């Protein structure tokens, strides 16, 4: 066996368990901040402004875009989109709401989101018993779950991701030798075949990107809001292996987002929103 010269990243065994469902299930029940909703990185404003202020705002499109919100946690991003649509399209915002699919692997997160929608509908005098948005419990790193739960309907125009790739990135790589045809995505199998005899594996961020590419339209977008200034560093790029299938995304933009702080003397820290386009 030879070590891959381009895959000499340190092991991920840093003790962080943000990739683990048990961590999140426990956190959503026990962390008091989650009971009323907690926003990672920053509020949904930065992503929302990207969706509403560009020259051709995605949220104003007709017909409405089909949105996959991954790793919803207890964030208010999807509900904020609904509130925006309600303002902009008083006649058909409820119909638009059906185009948002909220996904998390934690049932506690999905329950929270369902309750938040129901409560808000009650507050605005609508029938909270009729669910407007869609909710799915899916492990995004499990190809069979992604394919069977998210891959059957109309492909998505847009993936919204606020720090979910960050969480997923803390997981260990999948060793090339462990990639099998009956459980993994065909593109991962192809990548593993090109790496026979090479020690190493595929980063969780790449597994996620390959899975998402199968349920997003060609030219569709993935807005990834991340703390990391080099979010895709772990990805094996197509120039390294033969086929573009192993990374079917092109970064078309990277927007800096200044981190808000209540301390005026705090150093300026930036997060980033990556615009990835499906090739
Ligand atoms: C850092 S939190 C971000 C939550 C929310 N997007 C926000 O901005 O506040 C990451 C979320 O991703 C979810 N998650 C992590 N790994 C996942 C996976 N493999 N499949 C589905 N959801 C996952 C967690 O349950 C959690 O809700």
Residue 273 has pLDDT above 70, yes or no: yes
Average pLDDT, stretch 182-202? 92
The rounded mean pLDDT for the chain is 91
Question: Which atom of ligand 1 is closest in space to residue 18's alpha carbon?
Answer: 15
Output the CA 160–ligand 1 centroid distance in Å: 11
* Residue 69 Cβ contacting ligand 1 at under 6 Å: no
Output the CA 83–ligand 1 centroid distance in Å: 22
* Confidence label for 243 from pLDDT (cuts 50, 70 and 90): low
- Sign of dihedral through CA atoms 80, 83, 85, 88? negative
> Which among 25, 38, 46, 73 is the best mutation to test ligand 1's pocket, defined by most ligand atoms within 8 Å of the CB?
73
Q: Catalogue the long-range contacts made by 116-124 (C-beta closer than 8 Å, 24 or more residues apart).
A: 116/37, 116/74, 116/76, 116/79, 117/79, 117/82, 120/79, 120/82, 120/83, 124/86
Give the CATH H-level superfamily of domain 39-260+267-278.
Vaccinia Virus protein VP39 (3.40.50.150)
Q: Which range scores top for mean pLDDT: 13-22, 50-59, 78-87?
A: 78-87
* Residue 73 Cβ contacting ligand 1 at under 6 Å: yes
Question: Which atom of ligand 1 is closest in space to residue 24's alpha carbon?
Answer: 25
* Residue 223 Cβ contacting ligand 1 at under 6 Å: no
* Residue 40 Cβ contacting ligand 1 at under 6 Å: yes
Burial bucket for residue 187 (CB in 10 Å: 0-12, 13-18, 19+): buried
Q: Please state, in angstroms and rounded to a whole number, the distance separating the CA atoms of residues 180 and 221.
A: 29
Q: What is the pLDDT of residues 124-176, one digit of tens each?
A: 999 878 899 999 999 999 999 999 999 999 999 999 999 999 999 999 999 99
> Which among 28, 104, 144 is the best mutation to test ligand 1's pocket, defined by most ligand atoms within 8 Å of the CB?
104
Residue 173 CB: number of other CB atoms within 10 A? 19
* Residue 71 Cβ contacting ligand 1 at under 6 Å: yes
Domain extent listing, the chain: 39-260+267-278
């Amino acid at each position: 066996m030879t070590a891959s010269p381009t895959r000499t990243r340190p092991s991920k065994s840093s003790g962080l368990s943000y990739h683990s469902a048990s961590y999140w299930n426990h956190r959503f029940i026990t962390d008091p901040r989650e009971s009323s909703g907690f926003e990672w990185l920053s509020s949904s404003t930065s992503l929302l402004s990207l969706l509403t202020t560009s020259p051709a705002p995605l949220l104003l499109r007709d017909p409405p875009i089909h949105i996959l919100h991954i790793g919803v946690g207890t964030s208010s991003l999807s509900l904020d989109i609904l509130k925006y649509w309600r303002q902009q399209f008083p006649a058909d915002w409820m119909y638009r709401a059906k185009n948002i699919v909220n996904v998390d692997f934690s049932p506690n997160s999905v329950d929270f989101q369902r309750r938040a929608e129901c409560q808000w509908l009650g507050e605005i005098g609508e029938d909270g018993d009729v669910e407007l948005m869609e909710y799915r419990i899916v492990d995004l790193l499990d190809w069979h779950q992604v394919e069977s739960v998210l891959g059957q309907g109309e492909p998505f125009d847009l993936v919204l991701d606020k720090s979910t790739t960050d969480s997923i990135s803390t997981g260990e790589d999948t060793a090339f030798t462990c990639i099998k045809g009956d459980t993994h995505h065909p593109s991962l199998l192809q990548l593993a075949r090109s790496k026979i005899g090479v020690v190493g594996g595929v980063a969780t961020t790449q597994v996620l990107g390959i899975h998402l590419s199968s349920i997003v339209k060609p030219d569709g977008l993935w807005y990834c809001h991340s703390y990391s200034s080099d979010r895709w560093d772990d990805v094996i790029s197509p120039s390294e292996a033969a086929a573009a299938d192993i990374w079917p995304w092109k970064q078309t933009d990277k927007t800096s987002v200044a981190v808000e702080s209540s301390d005026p003397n705090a150093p300026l820290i930036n997060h980033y929103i990556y615009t990835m386009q499906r090739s």
